[in-house]
Structure 1
Amino acid sequence: MIKNYFKIALRNLFKHKVYSFINIFGLAVGIACCLLIGLYVQNEWSYDTFHSNSDRIYRAWTTETMEDGRELLNTSTPIPLRQALEEYIPEIEKSTYIFRFNNLVQAPERPDQQNEQMLVVHNDFFDIFDFELISGDRETMFQNPSSVVISRETAERFFGSDNPLQQTLSIRIDDEFQSFSVTGVLENAPSNSSLEYSILLPNENLDRLVGENSFNSWFNIFGPTYVLLAENAESDALDAKFQSMLQTVLGEELQSETNFAIGLQPLTDIHLNPEFPPNIASVSDPAYSYLLAAIALLILFIACVNFMTLSISKSASRAREVGIRKTMGAIRQHLMAQFWGEALMMTVLAITVGVAFSELLLPLFNDLSGTSLEFQLTLGSIGILAGLAILISLIAGIYPALILSGFRPVEVLKGHLNLSADKSFFRQSMVVLQFSLSIALIFGTITVHRQLSFMQNKNLGYQTGQVVVVESGLSAGPSVPMSELIQNGYQMRDLIANEISGAQGVESISVSTFSPVQVFGWFRIGFSDNQNQQQNLHANVIDAEFINTLGIEIIQGRNFSDVNPSDERRAMIVNQSLVDYFGWENPIGRRLPGPEFIDHEVIGVVEDFHYESLHTEIDPLAMTMNPEIIFSGINNIMLSNSPSPRFSFKLNTGNLSKTMASIQNVWETVSPGTPFNYTFVDQSLEAQYRQEQRLSRIVTTGSFFAIIIACLGLFGLASLMVLRRTKEIGVRKVLGATSSSIVLLVNKEFTKLVLIAFVIAVPVAWYFMSSWLQNFAYRIDIGLGIILLAGISALVVAWLTVSYQSVKATLVNPVDSLRSE
C-alpha cells in the first residue's frame, strides 16, 4: 500500500510540474532565508558564550550622579580600580585592566612600519578569557615586561610562515622604539567575541603610556576593567561592598567630587546592551536581532501559507479522483494518509533543496551581512528540520486530507463540488495574512532605506567630500606631555605645508587632536563650576586652519588666527550647543565657568556640527589651540582613542589618485618610516552606519523573497478561482463581456483582500518602525508618502500576479469553457 501511495505521489508530482515547482521552490526559498537569517541571529545571541566561565565574567562600570540629577555612565574605568577591587572584594578571583592604544610596529629585517592597535593587559587576562592559545606557555607568557603575545593573523602578517615564537617586534612606546619578544600566539578572536585583539602587552608597560597623575587618579578613565567572580558569588550582592570600598579609598574626595558608584555588567550582556557605552567591546542594538528573527519567521510562515494554499488549489482538481477511489472501496483514513504522505514528501524535498540553497548562498549572505558564518548540520539542527517538515506537511496537507477525503462520492462524480463559504473565508484570510506581512516588510524596508539615505545625505555642518585624514604616528606619554605632542604636530604640519605648497589639488591642511572620522573619540571632560556643580563637555585641540579646512560655519566672533599670538595661548571657540547649555546671551569674551581654568576667552561660536554619530545629539564642545586651557580646570577625563595628532587635507582636484600620490611623497620625505595611513571622511562616515546598511540589505532581500513567495500563493489562489469560474467566464463572453471587464472581475476580489491587508499592516508596521527610529537622535518622519508607497507597491504586485491568470482565462474559447463543464 505504501509503495502504491509513493507511486501516486510521484505521478502527481510530475503530472503537475508547474505547481510542483512553485510549491517546492517557494518553500525551499523560505527555508533557506530562515536558515541564513537564523544563523546570523544565533551568532548575535551567542556572543562571548564560548568562554567556559562566561557566567562569572563581568565588566565594571562607573556612574557619577551630578547635583542636578544627571547621571554619567562609563565603562571606561580608572586605573586604580582593579587593584582596589582585588584588595577589598574577596569575591573577585581574578581581574584585568585593558588599555588600548595605537602606535608603530616593525618586524626585524622589514623596513616598513605599521600602525597597529594594541592592548595592555594583566596576566589574569589569559585566565579570565578562553581565547585559544596556539603556541606558548600560558603561565609564563608575561613573566618579562618585554614579552608580547600576538594573534595568528598578526603573526602571519609580520612573520609569514616562520615560527613567530622568540621573534622580535619593535614597538614605539613613549616616542621611542622598544624591542619585544613574541612569547605566545593566540588564535584570532571568534566572530562572536565582543573583544578583539592583535597584539597584547604586559601591564608593566602601562606607566610608560600614561602619566603618573592619570595612573593614580580615580577620575581619569581610559579603558575597561574585567573581573572573574568566585563561584556562587552574586554580583548584585556586592553593591554595598563597592560603596564601602570607595569610602575607604577615596574618603572625603568621594563626596567633594561627585556621587560616585561602581557596578558590574555580565560579559554575555555586553554585545546586545547599547545602554552601556561600548568602550573597546563590540556592541549591537538587540532590536536588530529581534527584527531579523521576526523577518525570518515571517518569511517561513509566508512560505508555509503559500505551500498550503497551492495544495488547496491543486487538490481541488483531484476531487473526482477521490470520488472514484472511494467508490472502489478506499476508506477515509487511507486517503488522509496518502494526502499527508504526499505533503510530507514534497516538504522533505523542499527542505532538502532549501538546505542546499542556504549552503550555496552562505558566501553571498556573509558578504551581505559582513560576517563569516559557517553552516553546520548538527543533531539539534537536523531534529529541528525534521520537526519542521512534520509540522509543515501536517498544515499543508490538512485541507486535502480532511476536506476532500470527506466528500460524498456521488456528489463529486456528478460534478457537485461545493466549496463552502467558510473554506472560502479561510483562503481569503490566508491572502490577507500573507499580504499584511508583505506590506509590513515593504513598509519597513522603505523606512530603513530612507533613514539611511537621510543620514548619509544630511548636512553634518562640515565638508565631507574630498577631505582626507592622515594619522601622524606621534604619541603622548610620561616623557611627551600633551602640550609637547601638540607642538610636535604643529611643527610637522608646517613641514608638510612647505613641501606640498606647490602640489596641485591640495587646498589647505590642518592638524587636530581628533578629527570627524573618530566617532566617540573626542575628549570628554568634567569640571566643577563656580557653584561646585559638575559640568561635562567635549573638547578638541586644533590649529587655526581646522575650521576652514572642514568648512565649519562661524556664526559669532571670529576664527583662530596665526597672526594673533594670543590666540595660541588663550583663545577658545565653542559650538552653539555650549552657548545654549550655559545660557550665554553674549558668548564672545566669556570663559568656561570653572575656577581652576587658566586665563582664556571665547573668541568665536560655530554652528553645531555632528562630530559624533547621528545616533546621539550634539553635546557642548570647546576647541582651543592650547591644551593647557582644557586640562588646567578639569577633574576627570574620558579618552577612548589615542590623542595622536591627525592631519586633515582639503582637496580640490579631479585627479584624486595623482594628488594622493603627491601627498604620500611629501609624507615619506617629512616622516620617513611612518606608515601613510589615511581615511577619507565620507568613507569613514559611511562606515559609522555600516550596521544599519547591512540590516537594510538583509531586510530588503528578505522582503523581496517574502513578496515573491506571497505572489506564488496568490498565483495558486487565482488559479483556483479561474478553475471554479470557468463556466461563468465562458457565459459572460458569450453574452458580450469584454476581456477588460473579465480581468476586472477576477482582480476585484483580490484587490479587496489587499486593501484589507493594507489597513491591518500599516498601524503595526508604523508602531515598530517608529520604535526603531527612536534609536536615532536625528531621524525622518514616517509620512503619508511611505504609507502610500508600501500599499501601492503591494497592490501593483498583486494585480500583476493575478492578471496573468485572468488574462489567460479571457483567451480561452467560450465553447471550450462551456464544454469543460
Structure 2
Amino acid sequence: MHTLKIVLRSWWRNKLFVTISLVSLVIGITCTNLLTAFVLYEYNIEYNNPNRNRILRLIQTLPFAQEEMQGTFVYHESVPEIISQFPEIEAALRTQSVTHTKIRVDNEDFSDLNLLSADSTLEKFFPIETLTGKVKEALTHPGTIAISQEVAKRCFGTTDCIGKLLEIPQSGKNTYRIVAVFRLPSQSMLHADMLTSLNAPEGITCSILLKQGTDIDTFRQRFEATELPTLLGKGYYHTLSLQESYFNTALQDSDQCIEHRQKALLSVGLLSALLILFIGCFNYINLSFSRLLKQIRTLHIECLLGATHRQIRWQLFVDTFLMVIIAFMLSILLMSDLLASFNAIITAKLSLSYLFSSQVLPIILLFVIILSIVPAEYMSRKIHTLSESSYRSFFTGRKKQRIVAALVTLQFIISIGLLSAFMVIRSQMDLIEQEGNRYKGIIEFSIVDSAHSPLQTWIEEIKPITGVESIVPSRSGLYPMSMAVPRKGGEENDLLMLELYEVCPDFLSIYNLELSDAKQTFNLLPRTPIPAIINEAFIRYLVPAGENPIGQPISKYIPEENEKGTIIGVIKDFKKYSLTNNIFPLRMLLHETPQENFTTLTIQFDEKNRAELIDHIRRLWEKKYPNTPFEYTDPHKILMSYNQEVTDFSRILLMYASISLFLTLFGLFGITHYAIRQRIREIGIRKIHGASPWQILWLVNRPFLCYIGIAFVLTIPVICYSMNYWLQQFAYHTHLGIIHFLLPLLFTICITLLTVCLNSYRAARNNPVESIKCE
C-alpha cells in the first residue's frame, strides 16, 4: 500500500505525462484488441463446425473474357455421377440461393431476405441450432420452410410460429408452412434467413464431405486429375476448403448465401492496429525519458531515507505495470462503447461476449502481460542502478536525442504512410464513385405481364409522378442476358460472355454512355434496318486487329445465325460490377420504338423524390399485380456493393490514419512541453543575446521538420511498392501520383507546426530574466 501511494503521488505531480501516456496506451490497446479479435474471428471461420476440415466445395474454371474465372455452378444431373466415382465421399450437398427475397405474412411484406434451398444433408455441412420444430422436415418436405430466429421475431414477434403460413411470390410454390425456427452459430460463413428443400431440376452449387481418416491432400490431387462432366462437357474440377472459399473474393459464387471476405483487409487492419500500438508505446517511452530525471532524484532521496534496492525495484515495477494495467482496463470500457461503430465500419460481426471468449481472451491477456511485465521489469532493473550523473550523461546527451529522434521519426513514418495509403485507396474509390455517378437517380423494374398491363400504359402512368425526369423502355435494362461465344482465333471451348442488349436510343443518354463517334452513329441510325452498337471490349476480343467494324454485320464476328444487326457505332466501356473484373463485350440493338419483347422500364428521377417515387410505383404495381411483390434494381447500389471491399479499406485506413496522427501529435505536445521546460534557461539566454520570438519558434520546430523530412523520404518507396501491388488486383485502377504523397506531407507539417507552436509560443514571449530565474 505504501508503494502504491508513492506511485500515485508521482503520477499526480506529473499529470501531463500520465494523461498522454494513458490516452496513448488506451487507444493503442483498444485498436489492437479489436483488430486482433476481428482477425481471429475471420480466420477461424466455421470454428463451431466439427466437420469443417473435411468439407470441399467444387469449382469449375471457365475461360471468360481474357481471364479464367472460377465459378461454383454445377449442373444437378452431374452430381450423382461425380460422387459415384469417389468412395471417400461420405455425403454431398447441393444448394441454390435466392437473395433479396420478399415474403408476405398476413398481407404484410418483408424484404431483403436470403432463401436457401438445400439437400437434406445440409446439417452435416453447416451446424444449425434448432430452436423449435425440425429443420430436417423443411429440407425433405416440399411446401415447408424453416425460418431464422431474426425472421421469426421480425414477422411474428415471437419464435412460437410453427404451423403458420408465409408466401414467397417469386417461387413456384407460393405458400409455405413453417416447420422450424433455427439460429446459425457465430462464425458461420452461411448467411441464410430461410431454408427449404431443393428442387432437383434447379442449377446448383455442390460441396462434398469426406469420410473420417481420408487424406485430403491426396484426395484433392486425384479428384482434380479425374475427368468429370462439367459445364463445357468432359473436363476437370477444382476444390476449395471452406476457409479457401471464404477468402476467395474473385470466386464467381452461385450461392449468394455463402459469405466471402478479402484476406488483405485482415492483414492491413491488423498491421494498422499494431502500428497504432507502436505509436502509443513510443509516446510512453519518449515521455518517460523526460520524466526519469525527477524520478531518479526521488529514488536517491528514498535510498538516503532507508529504502532498500528491492523496495526501489518493486516501486518502479508497480509504476510501469500499473500504468499498462489501468490502460487495459480503460480500453475494455472503450471497446464496449466502440464495438458497434467498429462493426459498422468494417462490416464485422463481433460481440462483447466474443471478445471474452476462449478464442480471444487468452491472446489479449498474453499480449497485455507481455506489454506490462517486460517493460516494467526492464525499467525497474535499469533505473535503480543509475546515478543522477549517469542519467544526465545518458538521457540528456546525444544518446537520448538520437533515441527520441528515432522514435518520433518512426511515428511520422507510420502516420504519413497510413495517410498516403488512404489517399491512394481514396483515389480508387473516387474512380468507382465517378463511374457510379452515371447510375445515381436511376432505378429499373420489369413488368410481369405486358398483355395484362401494356408497357405504354406504365409509361403514361409514371410520367406525371413528381420527380420523374425520363423513362426508357428496353428488353432487360442494364443487366441483359448473355451468350457464350468463341473469341477471335480461339479454340472451340475458348469462350467469353457476350451481353445482348435491345434498347431504344434514349437508353444511351439516360446512362450517359459515350459514343466514340456520336455524329457518325446518329447519321447511320435511320439508314440502317437493324442498327447495332458494340463496345470497346467487343473490338478487343472479337474484331481482328486493325479492322474497322463500322458497317459490318454482327454475324461476321459472332457465329450465330440469329444475329442480323449491322454495327453503326462503338460506345466506350462502362463498369457496372467490380473493377477487379474485365468488362465483357456487348452487342446493343437499337429500336426507334419499343418492341413486343420489351419488359423493362428504366426511370431517371430527382434523388430528393426517391422515397415518394418508389412508394407511388409500388402502389401502382400492387393494383395491377396484387399477388406479386414489387421489386426494382438500383444500379448505383449494385456497383457500390460489388466494390464494397474498397470502401472497407478506405474506412479502416482513414480511421487508423486519423488515430495515428492524433496520437503522434498528442505525444509531440508532451515531448515539446518537457523539452521547453528543460531548455527554458537556454531560451532566455538566446533572447538576451537578441533572438526574436520567430527565431525561438524556428529553434524548437526545426528538429521536428527534419524528422518529418526523413520520415517522408523513407515512406515513399514502401508505400509505392505496397500500393502498386494492391492496385494490380484491379482491371481498372487509378495511378500513383505526387499528390498522394504531398498532401499527407503538407498536412502533417501544418498540424505538427501548430502543435509545437502551442507549447513554444509562450516560452518565446516570456521575459528572459524571469525564464533564467525559473531555471
Q: Which bracket does the TM-score occupy, shorter chain normalised?
A: 0.7 to 0.9
Question: Which residue number in structure 2 is paired with residue 218 of structure 1?
Answer: none
Alpha-carbon distance between aligned partners in 1 of 2:510 and 2:134, rounded to the nearest angstrom: 51
- Flag structure 1 segments of 5+ consecutive residues without an equivalent: 211-221, 475-486, 627-642
Distance change in 2, residues 1:542/1:134 (3 Å): farther
Alpha-carbon distance between aligned partners in 2 of 1:740 and 1:79, rounded to the nearest angstrom: 80
Question: Which residue number in structure 2 is paired with residue 443 of structure 1?
Answer: 420
Distance change in 2, residues 1:543/1:24 (3 Å): same
Give SS of 2:209's match. Answer: strand
RMSD: 3.6
Residue among 312, 320, 332 paired with 1:343: 320
Establish whether residue 230 from structure 1 lines up as the match of residue 237 from structure 2: no
Compute the TM-score of the two structures, normalised by the length of structure 2.
Answer: 0.87
The structural deviation recorded for 1:137 is 2.7
The structural deviation recorded for 1:527 is 5.1
Give SS of 2:581's match. Answer: coil
Alpha-carbon distance between aligned partners in 2 of 1:442 and 1:147, rounded to the nearest angstrom: 53
Q: Which moved more, 1:807-816 or 1:7-16?
A: 807-816
Distance change in 2, residues 1:19/1:111 (3 Å): closer
Distance change in 2, residues 1:755/1:644 (3 Å): farther
Alpha-carbon distance between aligned partners in 1 of 2:703 and 2:87, rounded to the nearest angstrom: 72
Compute the TM-score of the two structures, normalised by the length of structure 1.
Answer: 0.83
The structural deviation recorded for 1:123 is 0.8
Q: Could you give the per-residue CA deviations for residues 257-312 of structure 1, whole angstroms, max 9, x where no partner exists?
A: 57721121001222212343343232222111100000011111111111121122
Residue among 514, 538, 541 paired with 2:498: 538
Q: Aligned pair count?
A: 756
Residue among 529, 534, 550 paired with 1:574: 534
The structural deviation recorded for 1:374 is 0.7
Question: Which residue number in structure 1 is paired with residue 594 of structure 2?
Answer: none
Q: Which amino acid aligns with 1:238?
A: F
Residue among 456, 462, 466 paired with 1:494: 456
Distance change in 2, residues 1:510/1:580 (3 Å): same
Counterparts of residues 32-43 of structure 1 (less than 5 Å): 32-43=30-41
The structural deviation recorded for 1:122 is 0.9
Give SS of 2:352's match. Answer: coil
Equivalent pair of 1:315/1:400 in contact (CA under 8 Å): no
Equivalent pair of 2:499/2:586 in contact (CA under 8 Å): yes
Establish whether residue 426 from structure 1 lines up as the match of residue 406 from structure 2: no
Q: Could you give the per-residue CA deviations for residues 701-724 of structure 1, whole angstroms, max 9, x where no partner exists?
A: 222122222223223322332233
Establish whether residue 681 from structure 1 lines up as the match of residue 635 from structure 2: yes
Establish whether residue 74 from structure 1 lines up as the match of residue 78 from structure 2: no
Q: Which moved more, 1:344-353 or 1:749-758?
A: 749-758
Q: Could you give the per-residue CA deviations for residues 543-572 of structure 1, whole angstroms, max 9, x where no partner exists?
A: 4364454343444776899999975xxx75
Alpha-carbon distance between aligned partners in 2 of 1:418 and 1:501, rounded to the nearest angstrom: 78
Equivalent pair of 1:114/1:675 in contact (CA under 8 Å): no
Question: Which residue number in structure 2 is paired with residue 721 of structure 1?
Answer: 675
Alpha-carbon distance between aligned partners in 1 of 2:242 and 2:288, rounded to the nearest angstrom: 48
Alpha-carbon distance between aligned partners in 2 of 1:334 and 1:788, rounded to the nearest angstrom: 52
Establish whether residue 765 from structure 1 lines up as the match of residue 685 from structure 2: no
Establish whether residue 695 from structure 1 lines up as the match of residue 649 from structure 2: yes
Equivalent pair of 2:89/2:210 in contact (CA under 8 Å): yes
Q: Which amino acid aligns with 2:461?
A: E
Alpha-carbon distance between aligned partners in 2 of 1:602 and 1:186, rounded to the nearest angstrom: 56
Q: Which moved more, 1:286-295 or 1:132-141?
A: 132-141
Residue among 150, 154, 164 paired with 1:167: 164
Residue among 555, 564, 568 paired with 1:600: 564
Question: Which residue number in structure 2 is paired with residue 640 of structure 1?
Answer: none
Give SS of 1:345's match. Answer: helix
Residue among 149, 152, 156 paired with 1:152: 149
Give SS of 2:649's match. Answer: helix
Question: Which residue number in structure 2 is paired with residue 10 of structure 1?
Answer: 8
Q: Could you give the per-residue CA deviations for residues 628-680 of structure 1, whole angstroms, max 9, x where no partner exists?
A: xxxxxxxxxxxxxxx99653212368755554454334333433343233344
Residue among 191, 197, 204 paired with 1:196: 191
Distance change in 2, residues 1:738/1:269 (3 Å): same
- Flag structure 2 segments of 5+ consecutive residues without an equivalent: 592-596
The structural deviation recorded for 1:810 is 2.4
The structural deviation recorded for 1:320 is 2.4
Equivalent pair of 1:88/1:245 in contact (CA under 8 Å): no
Alpha-carbon distance between aligned partners in 2 of 1:63 and 1:417, rounded to the nearest angstrom: 64
The structural deviation recorded for 1:419 is 2.6
Alpha-carbon distance between aligned partners in 1 of 2:215 and 2:14, rounded to the nearest angstrom: 63
Equivalent pair of 1:340/1:401 in contact (CA under 8 Å): yes
Residue among 647, 659, 666 paired with 2:601: 647
Question: Which residue number in structure 2 is paired with residue 267 of structure 1?
Answer: 242
Give SS of 1:406's match. Answer: coil
Q: Which amino acid aligns with 2:444?
A: V
Residue among 184, 204, 208 paired with 2:180: 184
The structural deviation recorded for 1:624 is 5.4
Alpha-carbon distance between aligned partners in 2 of 1:283 and 1:592, rounded to the nearest angstrom: 41
Alpha-carbon distance between aligned partners in 2 of 1:742 and 1:103, rounded to the nearest angstrom: 65
Distance change in 2, residues 1:124/1:653 (3 Å): closer
Give SS of 2:139's match. Answer: coil
Equivalent pair of 1:471/1:644 in contact (CA under 8 Å): no
The structural deviation recorded for 1:385 is 4.3
The structural deviation recorded for 1:360 is 1.5
Distance change in 2, residues 1:295/1:114 (3 Å): closer
Q: Could you give the per-residue CA deviations for residues 727-749 of structure 1, whole angstroms, max 9, x where no partner exists?
A: 21121122222221111112212
Counterparts of residues 299-314 of structure 1 (less than 5 Å): 299-314=276-291
Counterparts of residues 215-614 of structure 1 (less than 5 Å): 222-238=203-219, 242=223, 246=227, 260-279=235-254, 280=256, 281-376=258-353, 377-378=356-357, 381-394=360-373, 396-397=375-376, 401-402=380-381, 404-408=383-387, 411=389, 419-458=396-435, 463-470=438-445, 472=447, 474=448, 488=450, 492-503=454-465, 505-513=468-476, 515=478, 523=482, 525-526=484-485, 532=492, 534-544=494-504, 546-555=507-516, 567=530, 573-584=533-544, 585-587=547-549, 588-591=552-555, 593=557, 595=559, 597-604=561-568, 605-614=570-579
Alpha-carbon distance between aligned partners in 2 of 1:398 and 1:716, rounded to the nearest angstrom: 25
Q: Which amino acid aligns with 1:277?
A: Q
Alpha-carbon distance between aligned partners in 2 of 1:266 and 1:574, rounded to the nearest angstrom: 40
Give SS of 1:145's match. Answer: coil
Q: Which amino acid aligns with 1:539?
A: E
Alpha-carbon distance between aligned partners in 1 of 2:237 and 2:465, rounded to the nearest angstrom: 54
